[in-house]
């Protein structure tokens, strides 16, 4: 019994840094996907500071992906990060960058079994109204 508890504690201790690093990686990916449009529009840099941030964040994404634990999807993720860096350098459309970062985000969550929770609690009154106005009628 003591050995099992020790192994469990060790597993929790080891997994926490990976989870924290993965959360930061996901935040970087999300930030690039959402904020890229404020740096580049129609193939032109519209905000130099934001554009330089995008370049830095893309480099950070690549580095953090290298640190992820081994997984069959890791090579694909590294390839996607290289594409992301190229697209930022080429000033590709925000829609393309957003789609790529969304796919990267999903790949990481699915591969590394990251639990995603809402950033804020859902509005239960609104949810209740939605249910009674839409879903309930369909069920009756």
Going by the DSSP 8-state scheme, the letter that residue 69 receives in this structure is P
Q: Could you read off the pLDDT of 13-35 as tens digits, one per residue?
A: 444 445 557 889 999 999 999 99
Least confident range of 12-16, 28-32, 53-57, 102-106:
12-16
Q: Tell the residue number behind the tokens 């935040």, with chain if given.
A: 27
Per residue in 80-102, pLDDT (tens digit) is 999 999 999 999 999 999 999 99
Are 91 and 43 in contact by the 8 Å Cβ rule? The answer is: yes
Please state the domain extents for the chain: 2-139
Of 44-53, 55-64, 88-97, 120-129, where does mean pLDDT reach its minimum? 120-129
Its pTM stands at 0.71
CATH number of 2-139: 1.20.120
How big is the CA angle at 81 (ends 80 and 85), to the nearest 5 degrees?
A: 120
């Amino acid at each position: 019994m003591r050995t099992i508890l020790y192994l469990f504690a060790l597993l929790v201790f080891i997994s926490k840094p990976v989870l924290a690093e993965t959360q930061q990686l996901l935040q970087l990916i999300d930030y690039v996907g959402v904020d890229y449009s404020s740096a580049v529009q129609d193939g032109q840099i519209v905000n130099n500071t934001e554009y330089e941030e995008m370049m830095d964040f893309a480099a950070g994404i690549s580095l953090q992906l290298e640190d992820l634990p081994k997984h069959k999807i890791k090579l694909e993720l590294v390839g996607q990060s290289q594409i992301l860096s190229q697209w930022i350098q080429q000033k590709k459309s925000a829609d393309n960058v957003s789609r790529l970062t969304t796919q990267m985000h999903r790949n990481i969550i699915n591969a590394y079994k990251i639990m995603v929770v809402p950033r804020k609690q859902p509005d239960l009154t609104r949810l209740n109204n939605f249910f009674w106005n839409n879903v309930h009628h369909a069920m009756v």
